[in-house]
Amino acid sequence: MSRLHLSVLVVLLFLGFSLCSVLAADPIIEDGLVAYWSFNKGTMNGAVIKDQSEVGQHARIIGTVKAAKGKFGDAVKFDGNQANYIQGAKNLKSFKKKPTKAISVEAWVTDEGFLEWGGYIVCAQDNGSFEKGWVFGTNNQVSFAISTKEPDDGNGVLTYVKPADNPKRGNWFHIAGTYDGSTIKLYIDGKVVAENKNHKGDINYPKAKDGNGEDDAELVIGQYRDKNEFFPHTGLIDEVKIYNRALSEAEVNHNMKSEGLSVDIRNKLSTQWAEIKNPRPR
Ligand SMILES: [Ca+2]
Ligand SMILES: [Ca+2]
Ligand SMILES: [Ca+2]
């Protein structure tokens, strides 16, 4: 090979690598995104965790939750102690763009426990037959449950939709749960592993008139948590996304390979975040 050919080859290789690194940062799906916590450096400020979506659903660390190496950038590590979790919203009212008709919840997870009643991302009350909201976590197996208009025995019904087998303990896996108003789907690593067609209509959240103190729900990451039960997660959670619509199988697969937002949205939001980090004196 001549010296000239070698130089051309080197330049082409360099361009190829540069192109790859640009392509690797494919942004996530933004249509319907109501919360996105990447847990990456620069999105954590003290106990506050920045929501990178346009909604600004900034989360808060309760107790101690540490950063760890994630699937993309950094993740958060939960130690199995119920005092330590992340609060996405302290109640339904402060869950700004709470999905009501359809939903997708998505994350990368490692799980050391696969608890009987475990929670990765939860907004629910499940107390005896009182079953409202939704639970993205485990019922021994990885599962997604949503209470909806139908079926309803008077105080809500949660059906834990789950596969026969779990991913390997301690390994990263990608999970997504979707509900489009008539079908609940659970994806593991981009493939549908469980489906339920019995649930229909709007999502059935707790509301004040239900009484019994079951009138509200926290949005929680890293724990199943309602008014009388606490089942803390042991393991890592990364790249949590919530949408107010059901992502398609193709979109779930796209998001598995993606991180971050498109440049336009990032620029628009960086100013808002700067103000949160350094609030102007009132
Ligand atoms: Ca991350
Ligand atoms: Ca309960
Ligand atoms: Ca019930």
Residue from 167, 38, 62, 34 nearest 111 by CA? 167
Contact between 87 and 240 under an 8 Å Cβ cutoff? The reply is no
Q: Is residue 16 part of a domain?
A: no
Residue 274: pLDDT band with limits 50, 70, 90: confident
Per the structure, the complete domain to which residue 164 belongs is given by: 35-274
Position 267 scores a pLDDT of 72
Question: Considering only 11-15, 218-222, 269-273, which range has the smallest mean pLDDT?
Answer: 11-15
- Tell me how far the alpha carbon of residue 179 lies from the centroid of ligand 1, in angstroms: 25
Position 42 scores a pLDDT of 93
Contact between 169 and 251 under an 8 Å Cβ cutoff? The reply is no
Q: Is residue 4 part of a domain?
A: no
Across 28-46, average pLDDT: 96
- Tell me how far the alpha carbon of residue 8 lies from the centroid of ligand 2, in angstroms: 66
Which two tokens mark 131?
């079953």
Q: Is residue 209 part of a domain?
A: yes
Position 262 scores a pLDDT of 87
Position 6 scores a pLDDT of 63
Across 28-47, average pLDDT: 96
Q: Is residue 177 part of a domain?
A: yes
- Tell me how far the alpha carbon of residue 131 lies from the centroid of ligand 1, in angstroms: 32
Position 209 scores a pLDDT of 65
Position 165 scores a pLDDT of 96
Residue from 175, 137, 172 nearest 158 by CA? 137
Across 238-252, average pLDDT: 98
Q: Is residue 23 part of a domain?
A: no
Q: Is residue 80 part of a domain?
A: yes
Q: What value does the mean pLDDT of the chain take?
A: 90
- Ligand at minimal distance from the CA of 127 is 2
- Identity (one letter) of the amino acid at 128? G
Position 151 scores a pLDDT of 98
18 pLDDT above the threshold of 80: no
pLDDT in tens, 80-98: 999 999 999 999 999 999 9
Global pTM value: 0.87
- Tell me how far the alpha carbon of residue 136 lies from the centroid of ligand 2, in angstroms: 15
Q: Is residue 151 part of a domain?
A: yes
Q: Is 213 exposed, middle or buried (0-12, 13-18, 19+ CB in 10 A)?
A: exposed
Across 268-273, average pLDDT: 69
160 pLDDT above the threshold of 60: yes
Q: What's the rounded Cα separation, in Å, for the pair 136 and 58?
A: 19
- Tell me how far the alpha carbon of residue 161 lies from the centroid of ligand 2, in angstroms: 18
pLDDT in tens, 139-156: 999 999 999 999 999 999
Q: Is the peptide bond between 151 and the residue preceding it cis, with omega within 30 degrees of 0?
A: yes
The angle subtended at Cα 131 by Cα 205 and Cα 167, nearest 5°, is 100
Q: What is the CATH number of the domain that holds 108?
A: 2.60.120.200
Position 72 scores a pLDDT of 96
pLDDT in tens, 174-230: 999 999 999 999 999 999 999 999 999 999 999 866 656 678 999 999 999 999 999
- Identity (one letter) of the amino acid at 183? T
Question: How many residues comprise the chain?
Answer: 282
Position 270 scores a pLDDT of 72
The secondary structure of 136-200, three-state, reads EEEECEEEEEECEEECCCCCCCCCCECCCCCCCCCCCEEEEEEECCCCEEEEECCEEEEEECCCE
Position 20 scores a pLDDT of 47
Distance of CA 16 to the CA centre of its chain: 33
Residue 75: CB atoms within 10 Å: 25
Q: Is residue 181 part of a domain?
A: yes
Across 51-77, average pLDDT: 97
Position 92 scores a pLDDT of 94
- Tell me how far the alpha carbon of residue 130 lies from the centroid of ligand 2, in angstroms: 8
280 pLDDT above the threshold of 90: no
- Overall domain count for the chain: 1
242 pLDDT above the threshold of 70: yes
Q: Which is more confidently placed, 88 or 24?
A: 88
- Tell me how far the alpha carbon of residue 105 lies from the centroid of ligand 2, in angstroms: 21
